[in-house]
Amino acid sequence: MMRKIFLIAILCLVPFIGQAQELQAPFAHPGLNHSRADLERMKEKVLAKEKPWIDGWDALCAFRDAQSDFKASPKPTIGGTDGTRQRASRDAMAAYYNILRWYVTGDEAHARCAVDILNAWSASVQSVVTGELYMLPACEFIEAAELVRLYPGWKAEDVERFEKMARDYIYPACRDFRGEAGTWPGWDGPANVACLYIGIFLDDAEMVNDAIAYYKTGKGGGCITEGIVFGGQPVEMGRDQPHAAIGIDAYVDLCQALWNQGLDMYAYEDNLLLKGFEYYAKFNLEHPVDWTPIDYHGHKFYYPAPSNNAPSSMPNNRILANEAVYHHYVDRKGLDAPYLRTMMKLKNVDVLTGMMYTYSDTTTAYVSYPVPPVPEDVKVTGSIGRIDLDWASAEGDVANGYDVQRSVSPDNGFETVGSWSGNSTTEFADKDVEPGKTYYYRVRAKNRSGESAWSEPVSGTAQPGSSNSLLSGWTQQDIGKEEWMIDGVTKYSPVNGHTFVLTGSGRDIYSAEQPEGNFTYTAVTGDFELVAQIYDGEQEGSQLKEKFGLAVRENTTTSSPKVMLWVGDAGTRYTHFMWRNTADGNGDVAGSDHTWVPVWLKLVRKGNVFEAYVSDSGTRWYTVGASEISFPDDCLVGMWVCGGAYRPEGYTVGFDHVALTCGGGTKPSVPTDLEAKVLGSTSLSLSWKASGHVSSFKLCRSTSPNGPFETVAGSLSAPSYTDEGLEPGTTYYYKVWAANAVGESEEAATVSAATEDLSLPGRPEAAEAKAGNGYVSLTWEATGERTAYYQVRRGSMFGGPYTLIGRAMENRYTDHKVDNGKMYYYVVSAVNAVGEGTYSEEAKAYPQVGSCRYWPFDEAGGTAASDVWNGGEAQLVNNSRFDTGKYDTGIHLSGGHITLPAGVTETWKDFTLSLWVKPDRVEDWARIVDCGTGTDNNLFLTIKAAQTGCLRYAIVQGTSGEQQINTDFCPKASEWTHIVLVQQGTTGILYANGAEVGRNENLTLSPADLGYTTRNYIGRSAHTADPYLQGIVDDLRIYDCALEADQVSALYQASAQQITFSGLPAMKVGDEELTPSAMATSGLSLTFRSSRPEVAEVVDGCRIRALSPGEAEITALQTGNLLYAAAAPVSQTLMVEKGDGVESIGSGKIKVNVQRHEGGLHISFSQPVEDDCRAMLFEMNGVLIRSAILTGVNHYEWDTHGLSSGIYLLKVESRGNFTMLKIVL
């Protein structure tokens, strides 16, 4: 060790060598991202509690992964999409944090923690590493090991094993990964850095010099001139900002390590690295940059990816890299880095902020700006279903975030609807709005120094959008349809230069038979130019087949020739210019594979030449492709959305600034042959014919031939319409216009017709009954003829008779007054002012418990709670006890938790979870429910998410990221709150106190996907650092179906019930079965349970049969339904005395007499029995215990020694005849 320290001292005195000279081993240690001087400076400043060093240190000490009790979770490799890479990275960084804490404080607990982590992984990895992005944790492990080697407690054999892992298992993988032309800088860069790090760590000059050469001249993104082009443009910024940060950060890691070895690569290519960071920081501070379009090995980047598509999306540059870059170029070299300095000053304090490379408090970039000024020029624009805000950024880039508040009054009642920091975006979209309602907004800026005052309130109103009347000449139609698909819907508003919001299903566009989704269009002739901005659309990185864009078609069949400019495929981000089924065949020109919303698209036709363009601003356009394609002059052009076969609920995309310029065509002619047919008292059917090139029709109606006429349907795609909901016995007058992109027909076709007088409503069709646990839900098709309400009748047998049980105002009804295990039969009739119509077809249902679970937590004590519906116990752990609950008793958690049975989530596909909670206090991340096998295969329901302060549900599996249902509901301490989680398909809903508070319609994970879960908790988190829930929980229910909103409301209002159970009379063995005198205040049926079934068993859940002398506790149970909570069980003692006797319970031709005597039975017959006569003695459960063949006898002695007291059945059988007797011993 002394020899190595001496070498370090000498090497630190060597002047920096030229960039072309190769380095020689041994190398300076520590000498990767930190030198000894760096560590000593950190230690000195932290112990002196100087700023900014102490700020980053305090954040480090508070971070849970920097604690000395951190435990590693090693795997056989360090990469992969199953969470292995993230876990490896987390463990490596935990080792790094802990060894820094040891170096600064001397606390060996942290050093031992770091050693244990490295030892665990080096023992686990025994082959060349694989899996996605293994190079990232590879760098972090070597960084940590370089510092851990300073600790004398890391044993030599453990160091050797780690060196073997680095040399034999990590280095070959990283070395061989490099060199593929077009590899991303964010992948290739870290791979090359890992090679450099391992070379320095192992004192292997060949590895080190190979990495240096690759940085200069390699083919992949690990070469700086591949990753930063045109004098400072990081190529991966065209992909997205977070990935771009990884690549340029890797260049810094390499340069910093080589600087510590005496080689200045920071200066390479005229300080190209500084220029790349300045460019990156400038763009992410919302300043315009000059971007040169580039085709990076097949990846076409027309412009840098937007950094402000969501407040959380601004890539927080890894502060270590920024700090190193800034202090090298500014402090060491005296160069200027204004945008990088600005970004660093705006960063919030985080782990190690300001600690690593800050040389003095006079040169640090971590000096906060003053409090920012009030945001100015706040503008509000109401669009369909949302309100958009934007404002001017503060002069001098002094804001690192904003708060947005909303109210329905300009004077008071403002609440926060948006808040972010670490992001300078000055835009916000409020999507949680009620169309037609006016809201007032105010904004304030903030940074580390504080918040500005609020801006003056400005108002905005969200538009409902019309699906009935689109822009004149436009209409909507589904291109093909399958039964499971929704009907496409388009909403229109003239705001923002014409806004259309399309929702559609569809499968794909590659087959002439596949449904293609919602096409919203108009008819054009000849040349055109269609421009639109896609301002809203989900892009979640999925592998589904959603698509959206612009299209021109000959017709609306799936086999139609078409030319399309669209965005879709994996991640919904690939741009394509494509033509299909044309006279010239099929073709495809690929655009960018990283196209992010918002994006502008433009499709142009000039003769038979079609051109496709894309833009980030709508002003500067980039060509995706152009081609000459034979196509009819008359065609249909518009916007299009395809759900990609995986979205039964449809896929929604917003288009605005829709502008169509046409070069030819004329208005269509007046529709002809307009006819009206009467369809009863409230409906009329209209049809007509069109001539010319028509895309849509407008239908207007009046009760007078002179008007006024109101628009019934403004954008019909078909020449027919059924007008419903009309007044009986009334004459109506209609006008129909035809329209296309040029305009409407000059005149309208006219017709009139009269409805019939009101008659009885028809029979409700498609009546269906679905049973659940203690309820039956009925639905049917609505009837016409001004139905006022529906009558629901129920019977207990097929065909009736039926008894009226309720009235429904809508075409659905839930019957809660049913018993599980019985069949029920239902009919429905409709009633109007004329009278009651005929019954529907009969519908039947059989309610039963199914796989539902219910823990009422009504036990008086102990450490177990029973599932009263399906069995299975929940365990009370540590500081948890029974206490006063919402209904009877609940469980009070005060540092303890409840463990649910393993595998409890296996059936939670479509499901409902319901429980009551009364928190003593509301803490960040305290869990109501937490189930899974670990933190990367887990679901949780937290009473308070730290980011929002509100109730949240989340589920995660592997590296796919959390899927969440967020709310703005905050449970209150010391108050009961009813919380319900419902999932059906991909839609998840959270309810609180009977009302919906949060929804996510894109949950691709359900709890059943987590498999056999073994860590299932109430009140405890899978994350050990999270607090336990403090408070009372009660009435936990899990339904094997998704409850409807009205059922959730009923569950919230569920009443308590009590059981009245009178004492039980004594019984004798052999007595008639007893029906206990007991009832529940709810009126629901009771069931009974016996503590000793061998003494007294319960038959069919409701009768008691005395079997043997003794004493048994008989418990009356009522386990609740949607309307009632479970009643507290009530028990009575039953005494059973010895019985004696013989009773005939069967009849037949065989006459038998039985007499009991000591030790046996005397059986006699009226005449000798046949040769094949058989006598059999059974227990009451049907088990045969004695049997004898009787031949030609008229009496028989049967020994009963060894039989216990009780009831038995004697059966005597001969040639199909038998006699049955009950014997009491």
- Secondary structure (DSSP) of 918-984: EESS--TT-EEEEEEEETTEEEEEES--TTTSS-EEEEEETTS--EEEE-S----TTS-EEEEEEEE
Here the CATH number for the domain that contains residue 782 is 2.60.40.10
Contacts of 411 (CB under 8 A, 6+ apart): none
> Partners of 676 in the beta sheet?
686
Structure tokens at 189: 């860069």
- Secondary structure (DSSP) of 709-755: -EEEEEEESSSEEEE-SPPTT-EEEEEEEEE-SS-B-SS-EEEEEEP
Predicted pLDDT of residue 816: 85
Check: CB of residue 1162 under 8 Å from CB of residue 1148: no
Please report whether residue 629 resides in a domain.
yes
Structure tokens at 537: 């659309």
| Chain position carrying tokens 């190193």 | 324
Whole-number Cα distances in Å, 417 to 424, 595, 600, 703: 17, 28, 28, 47
pLDDT tens digits along 54-104: 988 999 999 999 999 999 999 999 998 878 999 999 999 999 999 999 999
Q: What is the mean pLDDT of residues 665-688?
A: 95
| Chain position carrying tokens 């896929």 | 651
Check: CB of residue 237 under 8 Å from CB of residue 244: yes
* 899 pLDDT more than 50: yes
3-state SS, residue 1133: strand
Residues 776 and 905 placed together within one structural domain of the fold: no
Whole-number Cα distances in Å, 798 to 564, 801, 825, 827, 830: 57, 8, 6, 11, 21
For residues 216 and 268, give the distance between their C-alpha atoms in angstroms, rounded to a whole number. Answer: 8
For residues 500 and 467, give the distance between their C-alpha atoms in angstroms, rounded to a whole number. Answer: 10
Strands 1067-1068 and 1130-1137: parallel
Contacts of 441 (CB under 8 A, 6+ apart): 378, 380, 387, 389, 404, 405, 406, 430, 457, 458, 459, 460
Predicted pLDDT of residue 22: 85
Residues 454 and 594 placed together within one structural domain of the fold: no
Please report whether residue 805 resides in a domain.
yes
Nearest to 112 by CA among 120, 874, 1043: 120
Predicted pLDDT of residue 718: 95
pLDDT tens digits along 225-240: 999 999 999 999 998 8
Please report whether residue 993 resides in a domain.
yes
pLDDT tens digits along 1018-1035: 999 988 878 999 999 999
pLDDT tens digits along 537-567: 887 655 467 899 999 999 999 999 999 999 9
Neighbours of 768 (CB within 10 A): 15
pLDDT tens digits along 569-606: 877 889 999 999 998 899 999 999 999 899 999 999 99
Residues 802 and 946 placed together within one structural domain of the fold: no
Residue that is last in its domain, among 632, 662, 692? 662
Q: pLDDT-based confidence at 1164, cuts 50/70/90?
A: confident
Q: pLDDT-based confidence at 1184, cuts 50/70/90?
A: confident
Q: What is the mean pLDDT of residues 662-687?
A: 94
Structure tokens at 1173: 């006569």
> Partners of 1175 in the beta sheet?
1188, 1212
Structure tokens at 613: 């363009």
Residues 558 and 629 placed together within one structural domain of the fold: yes
Structure tokens at 620: 């500067």
| DSSP 3-state percent helix, strand, coil across the chain (nearest 5) | 20, 35, 45
Here the CATH number for the domain that contains residue 884 is 2.60.120.200
Q: What is the mean pLDDT of residues 834-844?
A: 94
Whole-number Cα distances in Å, 511 to 508, 561, 1059: 7, 12, 65
DSSP 763: P
Residues 639 and 574 placed together within one structural domain of the fold: yes
Please report whether residue 402 resides in a domain.
yes
Q: Counting runs of H as helices and runs of E as strands, what totals does the chain give?
A: 16, 72
Distance of CA 187 to the CA centre of its chain: 28
Residue that is last in its domain, among 987, 1019, 1052? 1052
Residues 1146 and 1108 placed together within one structural domain of the fold: no
More confident residue, 9 or 906: 906
Alpha helices in 202-310 (DSSP H): 205-217, 224-227, 241-260, 268-284
DSSP 1052: H
For residues 485 and 647, give the distance between their C-alpha atoms in angstroms, rounded to a whole number. Answer: 8
For residues 170 and 78, give the distance between their C-alpha atoms in angstroms, rounded to a whole number. Answer: 9
Predicted pLDDT of residue 317: 35
* 853 pLDDT more than 70: yes
Output the CA torsion 353→355→357→360 (10° steps): 110
Residues 514 and 576 placed together within one structural domain of the fold: yes
Please report whether residue 1112 resides in a domain.
yes
* 319 pLDDT more than 50: no
Q: What is the mean pLDDT of residues 412-417?
A: 95
* 510 pLDDT more than 60: yes
Predicted pLDDT of residue 569: 84
Q: pLDDT-based confidence at 1172, cuts 50/70/90?
A: confident
Please report whether residue 145 resides in a domain.
no
Helix (H) or strand (E) holding 890: strand 889-894
For residues 532 and 624, give the distance between their C-alpha atoms in angstroms, rounded to a whole number. Answer: 15
Per the structure, the count of domains in the chain is 7
**903-906 contacts at long range (C-beta below 8 A, 24 or more positions apart):** 903/1012, 903/1013, 903/1014, 904/853, 904/872, 904/931, 904/1013, 904/1016, 904/1038, 905/931, 905/939, 905/1007, 905/1008, 905/1010, 905/1013, 905/1016, 906/1008, 906/1011, 906/1012, 906/1013
Q: What is the pTM assigned to this prediction?
A: 0.69
Please report whether residue 1146 resides in a domain.
yes
**SS3 readout for 426-487:** CEEEECCCCCCCEEEEEEEEEECCEECCCCCCEEEECECCECCCCCCCEEEEEECCCCCCCC
Helix (H) or strand (E) holding 1048: helix 1045-1052
For residues 882 and 876, give the distance between their C-alpha atoms in angstroms, rounded to a whole number. Answer: 9
Here the CATH number for the domain that contains residue 1209 is 2.60.40.3080
Residues 825 and 961 placed together within one structural domain of the fold: no
Please report whether residue 1199 resides in a domain.
yes
* 1141 pLDDT more than 80: no
For residues 492 and 468, give the distance between their C-alpha atoms in angstroms, rounded to a whole number. Answer: 9
DSSP 78: S
Kindly report the average pLDDT of the chain as a whole number.
Answer: 89
Residues 515 and 625 placed together within one structural domain of the fold: yes
Strands 438-447 and 401-407: antiparallel
Output the CA torsion 303→307→313→317 (10° steps): 100
Strands 450-451 and 789-795: unpaired
Q: pLDDT-based confidence at 307, cuts 50/70/90?
A: low
Residue that is last in its domain, among 845, 876, 892? 845
How much of the chain exceeds pLDDT 70, in percent?
95
Residues 699 and 778 placed together within one structural domain of the fold: no
For residues 236 and 1197, give the distance between their C-alpha atoms in angstroms, rounded to a whole number. Answer: 98
Residues 656 and 680 placed together within one structural domain of the fold: no
Structure tokens at 1016: 């299932």
- Secondary structure (DSSP) of 379-420: EEEEEBTEEEEEEEPPTTS--SEEEEEEESSSSS--EEEEEE
For residues 518 and 843, give the distance between their C-alpha atoms in angstroms, rounded to a whole number. Answer: 36
Predicted pLDDT of residue 9: 33
| Chain position carrying tokens 């499901």 | 911
Range of the domain at 1118: 1059-1137
pLDDT tens digits along 4-51: 333 333 333 334 454 556 899 999 999 999 999 999 999 999 999 998
Residues 1153 and 1204 placed together within one structural domain of the fold: yes
